Structure 1
Amino acid sequence: MTVQTHPLTDRIDRRRLRDYRRSLPTAVRPPWAGILGRALLLIGFPTALLVTWLTVLGDTVSDDGEWDWALTLILVPYAIPPVIGIVMFVRAVRRRSGVRQFRLHDFAEANRFTYQPYAPAPALPGMVFTRPAQSSSFVTDVLRRRSGHALEIGNHTCTTGSGKNTATHRWGYAAIRLPVALPHIVLDARGNNSIGRPALPIAFARDQRLSLEGDFDRHFTLYCPEGYETDALYLFSPDTMAIFVDDAARLDVELVDDYLFLYFPGQLSTLDPELWQRLLATTETLSQRVLRWERWRDDRIRTDAQPFVDSSIAGPGAGRGVAQQGRRLSVRQDWWWVLGAAFAVFGLVNLVIDTVSGWLS
């Protein structure tokens, strides 16, 4: 597959860029009023206070001729907000330029994709899109191909928690439509994990791990539903495993319903030509390989039973189905917080008893 990456690096026609920039949504290109308001708030007010303190300290220095460095520490907190404001202002100006979106738009057209700079999170079944406790989510820089093997590549951002516990999670993803619904199988890439901690947004029960032959386990941890071990060995034959090891060793993989997802903790839709070359070559190879999976059938579904068909995800091969026990992996339940709470209560009770005993004695 030949990938045209020159739009990502070619010189930009400034007139075309200005015309394209006007079409960008405010979520991607925020108005100047909001940017300047935040910048003035972070830069102007703290700077005024900083100037006031410098004036006061300057008068102190003029009296005795020596600078009181201890008083200088008072100025540090006032200097931090202006620095943050300047950084935010520069980033906002670069974001409003529309250069990134313009290049990706031309790249998409050159390679027969459509491009969408911003959209609400799509209704996809992958674990990145269905992360528990999401308060908001959206996707950016989405490239879609409908002809041939349906493919979608983009960057997903979601927020979990609230208040001080708010956290933002960013994942790049590639979604390949499959010819048939398959059991829920996850390949956790060891190459993008932290020490002792998987990068996956969801923790799966460890008794669903399946060890495969060769050195595959050095690169991936495979999870499959209980009773689907033989099916996983069929789907991930040695030649298929070799593709994942050679081309996708740093990408997490998920088979769910009639989708194959590739995930990366960061961004996949970027302006990096080499990344696009590798990614599109990998998705093309996998798209050809998964055609073999069309022959898979779930023997657990009786021929006279109503197969699993979800109209929102039904693809060309939907209707063959997956039995209930194979549609989703079991999520690991963490009990450490229960034990921690129990120990805390136990310690508090002992403290109260000891205190009361001291008073009585």
Structure 2
Amino acid sequence: MTAPAPAPSFDARPLTEPVDPAAVRAFAAELRSRRTSGMAVSSIIAIVAVSIAGLVMLPILFTVVLSLAASTGSPGAAAIPLVLIVLLAAAVGVLIWMAVRNGQATRYRLHRFAQANGMTYEPRVDDPPLPGMIFQLGRSRLATDLVRGSHPRFVEFGNYQYTVQSGKNSTTYRWGYVAVKLDVPLPNIVLDATGNNGFGSNLPASFQRAQRLSLEGDFDRHFTLYCPEGYEQDALYLFTPDIMARFIDNAAQLDVEIVDDWLFLYTQRKASTLDPATWAWLFGAVGALLTKFDQWARWRDDRLAAQRTPPVTAGSSGGHALPFAPPVGLLTPPPGVAPQGRRLKRTGTWLPLIVVIGFAAFWLLTRWN
């Protein structure tokens, strides 16, 4: 196992140093001016909800005050509930104002952090077009606080959420992620980190056990690796001992997915945050892996060459050897992945079924007893 790679130096001061309120307001106004698609759907829903609540509650409030005044004969006593409601509304308003102000300051700090480190900041992207497993689920898909760098290759740090509907109930799932652009498409490979699992895997997808590949050394203690059937040798080519050591030393608490020409690191806490320690951790993990991605660029899928190049038979040359060698380009597979290696085969989760069977068995036992 190699020594952990040191975290690359970066300027974390903008994350914590005081900010100028005027600069924060100017940046918030700039972000609002960038929106060309009109008011956000969430803002429209909030305005409609507040308006409906006002239209419903105000008549009820005045009716209650008039009733109390008539029954007690004291307008002052009847006004007490009104005063309490006004104070409560004022407190809620102050809390909303503080939340908005803190959100603006957070976005401004992340913007300055990105600038100080040669990166860019984007406050939100609806339904981001990324191929990772978490980006294909649910509805109301939203990535926020995206910090992007382009050298030595494109890297994006962000927070992501989506909502899954189950009957009348809905659950919102939140992730932090790092997306790294690779040089060539690679087979779909998942590393399920064992260190962040609870009762089973924390990943939102499960994969057929036939695709599980055991690697040498301590790697299996830290990750469960899945690769498409038939791509075991390709996974061994990609995950050489030095690369396995990098993942163990720097990404053992992160789930990893390679899909198309992307590598994703997943965590169930915010990746884009004001915490300098989180940035040091993620920058260190990415920096340690970037130095090994160049050798991945040389990988080619031999299955594509077999599909694109027709076999040369004796009949095709009149029974004699060809007078010239086929061009090298016909023998070298192009960058890409054959269809059978582009996506892992998934399987349904058994946990909900086990829970239902358990409740049914418990109910039957209680009835019989």
1:251–1:263 contact (8 Å) kept in structure 2: yes
Distance 1:338 1:285 in 2: 41
AA aligned to 1:323 is: A
AA aligned to 2:336 is: G
SS in 2 for 1:325: helix
2:191–2:225 contact (8 Å) kept in structure 1: yes
Tell me, yes or no, if structure 1 residue 190 matches structure 2 residue 202: no
- Residues 225-264 of structure 1: pairs in structure 2 closer than 5 A: 225-264=228-267
* Two-structure CA RMSD over aligned residues (Å): 3.9
Determine the structure 1 residue equivalent to 2:79: none
Determine the structure 1 residue equivalent to 2:77: none
Question: Would the alpha carbon gap of residues 150 and 343 (structure 1) be closer, same or farther in structure 2, given more than 3 Å must change?
Answer: closer
Determine the structure 2 residue equivalent to 1:90: 95
Q: Aligned-pair distance for 1:113?
A: 1.0
Equivalent in 152, 156, 174 of residue 152 of structure 1: 156
Distance 2:211 2:117 in 1: 39
AA aligned to 1:95 is: V
Determine the structure 2 residue equivalent to 1:270: 273
AA aligned to 2:187 is: P
Determine the structure 2 residue equivalent to 1:324: 339
| Higher CA-based Rg | 2
1:104–1:141 contact (8 Å) kept in structure 2: yes
Larger mean CA deviation between 108-117 and 206-215 belongs to: 206-215
Equivalent in 273, 296, 309 of residue 299 of structure 2: 296
Distance 2:223 2:346 in 1: 18
Determine the structure 2 residue equivalent to 1:99: 105
- Residues 71-220 of structure 1: pairs in structure 2 closer than 5 A: 90=95, 93-97=98-102, 98-131=104-137, 134-161=138-165, 164-195=168-199, 197-220=200-223
Determine the structure 1 residue equivalent to 2:50: 37
Q: Aligned-pair distance for 1:264?
A: 0.6
Question: Would the alpha carbon gap of residues 253 and 171 (structure 1) be closer, same or farther in structure 2, given more than 3 Å must change?
Answer: same
Name the TM-score, length of structure 1 as normaliser.
Answer: 0.73
2:128–2:141 contact (8 Å) kept in structure 1: no
AA aligned to 2:346 is: V
Determine the structure 2 residue equivalent to 1:74: none
Determine the structure 2 residue equivalent to 1:313: none
Distance 2:302 2:93 in 1: 57
Question: Would the alpha carbon gap of residues 84 and 152 (structure 1) be closer, same or farther in structure 2, given more than 3 Å must change?
Answer: farther
- Structure 1 stretches of 4+ with a deviation exceeding 2 A read 23-31, 33-41, 82-93, 162-165, 333-345
Q: 5+ residue gaps in structure 1?
A: 60-81, 307-317, 346-361
1:117–1:142 contact (8 Å) kept in structure 2: yes
AA aligned to 1:37 is: V
Q: Aligned-pair distance for 1:301?
A: 1.6
SS in 1 for 2:160: strand
Equivalent in 9, 14, 21 of residue 14 of structure 1: 21
SS in 2 for 1:153: strand
Distance 1:190 1:204 in 2: 15
2:184–2:261 contact (8 Å) kept in structure 1: yes
Q: Aligned-pair distance for 1:344?
A: 11
Larger mean CA deviation between 319-328 and 269-278 belongs to: 319-328
2:175–2:267 contact (8 Å) kept in structure 1: yes
Q: Aligned-pair distance for 1:2?
A: 1.7
Question: Would the alpha carbon gap of residues 320 and 35 (structure 1) be closer, same or farther in structure 2, given more than 3 Å must change?
Answer: same
Distance 2:51 2:198 in 1: 35
Question: Would the alpha carbon gap of residues 93 and 40 (structure 1) be closer, same or farther in structure 2, given more than 3 Å must change?
Answer: farther
AA aligned to 2:188 is: H
Determine the structure 2 residue equivalent to 1:355: none
Q: 5+ residue gaps in structure 2?
A: 1-7, 33-38, 73-86, 310-332, 361-369
